[in-house]
Structure 1
């Protein structure tokens, strides 16, 4: 999308550009006010952006300019906000000629002293004027939150990566600003502010919170909810995890979330079940916080409850049904005993499978048992063998394996809701986080992509591979 005005690129002698602008528009920056009822003044915006990118002047001046830029953005329509982002993306990019010049200077440096000087110049040339503008948003009290919200909108409106430059600049800034060392872990309970509890309901992305009673059950004495917060966004959870303190491994999410189940004394629990991890800020997509959250929560729980021995998830498999439905389009993918039943009775095999899973007729028990063995082996294969760029295609599996977990157990009809049957034919899995193995698993995964699984899961994978006539290198790691 073309911007409303054609601005000269920031990398063409920005100081002389500013002088030219000032000759044309005088002291408009100092004297102009943003009329929320008037049309956007794109010429004034161009001057503000160029002066902010130059980083000349005092902090107070920079704060005032960024405030006006933000006011401009706030009063834009959705279409004009896209024009605003396109303007930043196209006219404030890195100066390619300047980068090449800096690279040549580095390559031609004759000694270590001159090379060190050229490294600084090279790094400076790689920073876009756009990044200098965005970085100054943190001068405003709500500037960081506004920038996170702006990126969320960018991710919604960009088409085929047409705002990739601005997106990458934002991501680089956020990766530094939201480093784990700057994040505070807080517990959220029933006595937390109502506004925060409402956000918990709104941001829950795994298992919908259906009522205040449901929410109260999730923060009861045998439940815990932890979230990361940032000092510049003190009222906004960034990512949160919901934990159930139970005895034994949880295998069914409906049972785990049942409001009528008795409350357990948390000091009698031996297992912590992580059943929901939700990213609360769309604008922070790609900023790694989950691995630090899990490790911090494990440490916090161990400090509070020394009786806990097992840390496990009860996780969905969001891509399994889509993948299996594509598999079923190929010939001879169903085992013979299942093929005869489903092909003879229904043309829509996925629908027939879901119908069978919901059946309680006793004469289908044998068929259901065969279906159970087949689906459990297929989901094991999907989680460990279906990869993209060396990582599992399933986003939840990728998250947990990269954070040092091992795949321990496949749970049959663990989510028998309509959504669960549609998403993964009711299957859910347990990833185990063993404190003394997390770091090693992370290292092995990063170096080789090796996925640690229990012997049970390993056998299921082997069964699926034998049907395909192949073998693989998934590591079988017996869970104790």
Structure 2
């Protein structure tokens, strides 16, 4: 009985905290609240951080419902603009159509550390949107504002090296999302003179990297990841630097998901490297294909192909099915993949070419491919047995791909991709 009373009391306390938080929101939006916004916003952020998960969910629901535009005011404004589409009516319509919660977030943002608080709020919100579609409009407001506040014009590019603050180096280790960093020795190798690491920072989050990219300076385009991340390898001399290979891009802020950062980062880094090392002639990636194995297991289907391409795709699919006995899980180790005969590896590589060149333009295409191709890269070369780590085998069946960034053609390639066409090399074309 005592435990039950404690639970009831705890719930009552949470309900009071939620009510207090909503009162703070209304106070912050009031005329008086605008003058005292810093103090009120500080209390609001503290109250939100103290809420348990279920009460945070309730807060987002109330924010979505109670801080939306007035439908009647929007209707009247739209009708007035339809009758007289002048600047005054458009301004009035824009004002009444904007959700009050956007102004609420702006006022929170005035608080020292407010930007970081809003990023944290969105991180909490994103964990719920898939289960609660009624929160999508609220999520759109967060994304709209953060996309403006994290405009690339506000971001600062910094090189990360072994002399960077220890706190920053720890974050690089923690946030590396593509090829795990195995401690300080591994990180030290990735920051040697034949390697580069660059990160974007925002003035309001000066000690927190938003996204970072790792680059290997090489004599030629790489065909496997293991030599690039071998912490015992010997650094190359500068006269061997001909190629800059981007081999890992990691986002550090889950609350900024969907805010375009990586595409601007690659272009800025390429420009920076070209100024520092004029001898560099090739800018490329060595990238995973994280959706490939899943697509093959799902039947390797692509709609809308010509008859001849459908036949080649079916032929490659049948050859892979025969070689694996109809069970790709048999190819679940590096040793098995190394032992595959050409009769199995060649159709597997062809399937990867079809997947990247012809499936990438649709929303279900490989996310890494879509990122680079939309960024203006060209699909250049497929590399079998390039990533034999457990993750590489599971997701990509050991394959990796080079995307080429021709700095003179990125805009043209981006334009092609927006129209559903993937720029690719002759070597890739021969597989299709």
- Report the TM-score when normalising by structure 1: 0.81
Q: 1:268 to 1:333 in 2, by over 3 A?
A: closer
What is residue 255 of structure 2 aligned with on the other side?
Answer: 283
Root-mean-square deviation (CA, aligned residues, Å) is: 2.3
What is residue 9 of structure 2 aligned with on the other side?
Answer: none
SS in 1 for 2:231: coil
Answer whether contact 1:93 1:128 (CA < 8 A) is retained.
yes
Q: 1:297 to 1:41 in 2, by over 3 A?
A: same
Q: Name the CA distance, whole Å, in 2 between partners of 1:453 and 1:70.
A: 49
Q: Name the CA distance, whole Å, in 1 between partners of 2:63 and 2:317.
A: 56
Counterpart pick for 1:313 among 285, 309, 317: 285
Q: Choose 1 or 2 for highest CA Rg.
A: 1
Answer whether contact 1:392 1:398 (CA < 8 A) is retained.
no
Counterpart pick for 1:64 among 33, 39, 42: 39
Q: 1:376 to 1:357 in 2, by over 3 A?
A: farther
SS in 2 for 1:80: helix
Q: Name the CA distance, whole Å, in 2 between partners of 1:429 and 1:135.
A: 42
Shift of 1:193: 0.8
2:275 corresponds to 1:303: yes
Shift of 1:38: 6.0
What is residue 383 of structure 2 aligned with on the other side?
Answer: 411
Q: 1:337 to 1:44 in 2, by over 3 A?
A: closer
2:336 corresponds to 1:352: no
Gaps of 5+ in 1: 1-36, 463-480
Counterpart pick for 2:352 among 372, 379, 385: 379
SS in 1 for 2:36: helix
Q: 1:167 to 1:211 in 2, by over 3 A?
A: same
Answer whether contact 2:290 2:395 (CA < 8 A) is retained.
yes
Shift of 1:212: 0.8
Shift of 1:258: 0.8
Matches within 5 A, 1:42-441: 42-54=18-30, 56-57=31-32, 59-109=34-84, 115-158=86-129, 159-327=131-299, 340-343=322-325, 349-354=327-332, 358=336, 368-387=341-360, 390-391=362-363, 393-441=365-413
Shift of 1:326: 1.4
Answer whether contact 1:414 1:428 (CA < 8 A) is retained.
yes
- Report the TM-score when normalising by structure 2: 0.89
Q: Name the CA distance, whole Å, in 2 between partners of 1:319 and 1:336.
A: 20
Q: Name the CA distance, whole Å, in 2 between partners of 1:424 and 1:370.
A: 18
SS in 1 for 2:401: strand
What is residue 4 of structure 2 aligned with on the other side?
Answer: none
Q: Name the CA distance, whole Å, in 1 between partners of 2:356 and 2:300.
A: 17
